[in-house]
A and B are shown apart, each in its own frame.
Chain A
């Protein structure tokens, strides 16, 4: 269970949000929506522990994440606004290196399977990612979701530059994750195509 308690955020002189209390239960997706600059990404970065809250706390299984940073990180998959992939490495190398760095199981067949699951054709697996299109790069980044057995997924605009087919694939994967009892927090402008019973919406007003 992920909880925020009286969370507030200030960037420079601007207060983005204050006294934010949310609880996300296992099997639920929290969709964070709101206009540009309303603090959606800041909230997500706080949930990853990259950004420390001005006031308040974030609790994971009832304990402050600052007190259990490493255990918390071990349960977390974060895909940010930046793809976090290296232009000079191939899709395969990017995926297997980043998976092995965080400790997810990833051998050659598993990496191929993940890239195919996200709709990247076999020919593209061995190309340096700098020759891929924006949407294909995003797919390489999102392929990590197929290798991640972690409980908490934090995604920042995962559907940006994806076509409808890929959006559908990622949504299905999110659904499977929630069915396993996982938690997801997704910052998005689009509607997430999941049943409303498992989607919790948070609207941020700047």
Chain B
């Protein structure tokens, strides 16, 4: 019978989500503005002391990126759940975890990639030098997909629950801790002249682990939500 190839189904999921994001550009712009504003508030609050700013820069940018990702998690599954698109997706004759990867990838393109691209500009506000900026971009490039992957589990678990926005934060933030530590650590250690390779490798390992486990966990949570 008619059955989409795995690639077709995956591409279809990504295409629809990106098309929807294009129609609702304001949603995307909001989380980007949130990141810019949060990252700009710190230099204003802490004061213009370059040494202090350089010390806190990596941590502040990473926390801001993490919160921006958290804000956008509600968009991953909630709308699809409410309008019935999710049940149609579950009934596609392809493994659900693969389709979940498609949705998370689209989410990352829309909410993670802008963060990565903007980060060097924001890093300049904190007086980070060229090498540190490079490590910052690299760490975010490895770290933000992990944040989306882990976040998807939380977003799927809270589907149909009242007050899900706060609940997803409580569920997901503790799991973000290792990513935050390694990500900010990579930048700080490269500024200290020790190179960020060790932390970047750990971030890479986190990404691989989450790529492996998160789609299954998310798919299981989605099936429970639809029962």
Contacts and interface: CB of A to CB of B under 8 A. Distances in A.
A pairs with B:
yes
Interface stretch (A16-24, A99-107, A114-122, A191-199): A99-107
Contact of B1 (A78, A89, A105, A150): A150
B89 A101 contact: yes
Q: For this complex, into which size category does the number of interface residues on chain A fall?
A: 35 or more
Most buried by B among A50, A81, A105: A50
B93 A97 contact: no
Contacts of A103: 2-5, 8-9, 92-93
A83 interface: yes
Contacts of B75: none
A85 interface: yes
A105 B185 CA distance: 51
Contacts of B23: 88-89, 128
Chain A contact surface mostly: loop
B19 interface: yes
B176 to A, nearest CB: 30
Interface stretch (A26-34, A66-74, A161-169): A66-74
A81 B84 CA distance: 8
B150 interface: no
Given A101-B12, A101-B16, A102-B93, A80 B1 contact: no
Contacts of A50: 87, 90-91, 226-227
Contact of B24 (A75, A83, A84, A88): A88
Contacts of A48: 87, 91
A181 B89 CA distance: 26
Contact of A101 (B13, B19, B87): B13
A34 to B, nearest CB: 21
Contacts of B20: 86, 88-89
A128 B24 CA distance: 12
A98 interface: yes
Q: Which of B79, B84, B88, B92 has the most CB of A within 10 A?
A: B88
A70 B88 contact: no
A55 interface: no
Given A70-B94, A86-B83, A75 B1 contact: yes
B85 interface: yes
Contacts of B95: 70
Contacts of A185: none
5 contacts: A73-B92, A74-B2, A74-B3, A78-B88, A101-B89
Interface of A: 48-52, 70-71, 73-76, 78, 80-89, 93, 97-98, 100-105, 128, 149-151
For the complex of A and B, 9 pairs with smallest distance between CB atoms: A82-B84, A103-B4, A74-B93, A84-B84, A73-B93, A88-B23, A101-B12, A74-B3, A103-B2
